[in-house]
Amino acid sequence: MNYLSKSVCYISLILLFVCELDSTLSKRDKKKKSKEPDKVAKFKPSKAGPSEKSVKAKSLVDGEQLYAKVVLENHSSYMKDTSLKNFKGAVLGYVTPWNSYGYDVAKTFGSKFSLISPVWLQVGVSDEKYVIGGAHDVDKGWMEEVRKKGGKVIPRILFDKWTGQNFMSLFQQKEKQMELRDLLVKTVVEHKFDGLTVEVWSQLGGNARPQISAVLAMLGSALHSAGLLFVLVIPPPLYQGDTLGMFDASDYSRLVGAVDYFSLMTYDYSTPAKPGPNSPLGWVRRCVETLDPGKTSRSKILLGLNMYGFDYTSQGGGHVLGRDFVEVCQS
């Protein structure tokens, strides 16, 4: 934990149901160490909602052994004092349209997050002009509720349906770069966001890295001049088997001065073709060390923590969410 405390973490709210369950996954039943009770069904879930005790006070995170009984009894509750924050670094949470419950969780547990990134915006190309989509999803009332808890709202923006030619035009024409920069900054200012989370790097498949870096550095400078934050989503520098990724230490060095935080995707390590762990700790460690071997700016790395599992089958499998885990415990 010493090592990880040097890196800033972010928690994905995509699967927020698990945020309550996650705190109960390593309970050691001190009274019955020998075996799991035969009939889990007789254990009734505790009252859902706030609890006077934390998971530590309930001794739910003391060991490594997991019992279905513990999951069923505790998965729907959380500590009443939601203002308590154990991690001292910055924490970024994503809220997505496909899990609307995340909006409620962001308000309830907002004090635990430094940054909240709702997945609202897209930038597209229409008649050779850049246009913003998704603004209709912006919820001013929800933003104010998040800010009351101390969080900053920095929506994620995706480069939607861009072709290779769209990117080439951007890279080759300075005026196009300025047009894009001005549009993005204007959008943030008009909607009174606290900054922007940009996801574009993986779309280029590792190509044109110096070119996209220059565009992103220009955007970062403009956002900072307006007193706004800039978070860049980046793929891992290493993949399964330590295969080199499409973002490396040179890219990191090129952008570190223009970016406030890097949202590092340290999850989905394994694939149906090569089943295995979702986010092995050794691999996560190597990703951070590869990007910043000199430990000069690790506080800018938001370490991606997946809050879901994966079920591998001969047909490919799928994600395992918190509700799926509870169903397994009930069976």
**What is the structure's pLDDT at 231?**
98
**Model pTM score:** 0.84
Tokens representing 138 are: 């912006």
Assess contact for 15 and 95: CB atoms under 8 A.
no
Q: Is the pLDDT of residue 55 over 80?
A: yes
pLDDT digits (tens, 9 = 90+) for 249-308: 999 999 999 999 999 999 999 988 889 999 999 999 999 999 999 999 999 999 999 888
Greater model confidence, 133 or 57? 133
Mean of all residue pLDDT scores within the chain: 85
Q: Where are the alpha helices (DSSP H) in 61-204?
A: 68-74, 101-108, 140-148, 164-172, 174-190
**What is the structure's pLDDT at 3?**
42
**What is the structure's pLDDT at 45?**
56
Q: Where are the alpha helices (DSSP H) in 200-248?
A: 209-225
* Rg (the chain; Cα; Å): 21
State the burial class of residue 312 (Cβ atoms within 10 Å of its Cβ: 0-12, 13-18, 19+). Answer: middle
Instruction: Give me the CATH topology for the region 2-16+86-321.
Output: TIM Barrel (3.20.20)
Picking from 5-19, 139-153, 219-233, which range would have the lowest pLDDT averaged per residue? 5-19
Average pLDDT over residues 164-192: 98
pLDDT digits (tens, 9 = 90+) for 63-78: 767 788 888 888 888 8
Average pLDDT over residues 129-156: 96
- Per-domain boundaries in the chain: 2-16+86-321
